[in-house]
């Protein structure tokens, strides 16, 4: 990778994280990642229900974290470039936030087991993304208690 490409990559990474921070700044200030107690969610079409097990922290010293997920999914072009994986469920399907575009701030559930990532002609898409909420606040306010809580 050339120096120019590395600079562009750093700029893109910083902007994605910065946009994410702006969208959920209050939550980051309060928790900076974490495991919510109230965590059940459903997609808006009610086809999928799962649990938010972890919101990834900004800190690079903790694994998993936002930076690592960005490297794994965005730099590898596995998910659309405007999405950022911000959390996961019990089987490591991802909760993503759109940080730019017409759907900026929208929260999606990404079912990894539905993806054909190993295909040679794979292109990132919204195909296996299901809308959970139209804002981070709506997402957090929509979480409910699980039966075992």
pTM score of the predicted model? 0.80
Q: CA Rg, the chain, in Å?
A: 15
pLDDT at position 41? 97
> 110: which DSSP letter?
E
Mean pLDDT of the chain: 81
Domains, the chain, with CATH or none? 3-142 (3.40.1580)
The pLDDT value recorded for residue 71 is 82
Task: With beta carbons less than 8 A apart as the criterion, state whether 82 and 99 touch.
Answer: yes
Token pair for 45: 């079409």
- Residues 62-83: what's their mean pLDDT? 84
pLDDT tens for each residue of 24-45 = 666 665 655 678 888 999 999 9
**Tokens representing residue 83 in the block:** 């999405």
* Stretch (H or E) spanning 83: strand 83-88
Task: Give residue for tokens 């469920």.
Answer: 89
Residue 73's Cβ-count burial label (10 Å; 0-12, 13-18, 19+) is: buried
C-alpha to C-alpha distance for 120 and 10, rounded to whole angstroms: 27
Q: Quick one: pLDDT at residue 46?
A: 95
Residue partners of 145: CB distance under 8 A and separation at least 6: 38, 40
User: Tell me: the pLDDT tens digits for 91-127?
Assistant: 999 999 998 899 999 999 998 776 666 666 678 889 8
| Whether residue 83 has pLDDT greater than 60 | yes
Report, as an integer, the average pLDDT of 133-138. 92
> What pLDDT sits at residue 11?
66
Task: Give mean pLDDT, residues 66-93.
Answer: 87
């Amino acid at each position: 990778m050339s120096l120019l490409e590395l600079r562009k990559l750093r700029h893109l990474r910083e902007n994605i994280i910065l946009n994410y921070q702006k969208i959920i700044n209050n939550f980051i200030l309060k928790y900076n990642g974490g495991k919510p107690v109230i965590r059940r969610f459903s997609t808006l079409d009610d086809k999928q229900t799962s649990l938010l097990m972890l919101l990834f922290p900004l800190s690079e010293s903790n694994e998993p974290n936002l930076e690592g997920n960005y490297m794994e999914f965005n730099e590898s072009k596995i998910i659309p470039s405007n999405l950022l994986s911000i959390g996961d469920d019990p089987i490591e399907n991802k909760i993503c936030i759109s940080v730019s575009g017409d759907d900026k701030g929208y929260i999606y559930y990404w079912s990894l087991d539905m993806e054909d990532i190993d295909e040679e002609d794979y292109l990132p898409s919204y195909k296996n993304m299901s809308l959970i909420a139209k804002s981070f606040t709506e997402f957090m306010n929509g979480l409910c208690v699980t039966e075992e809580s």
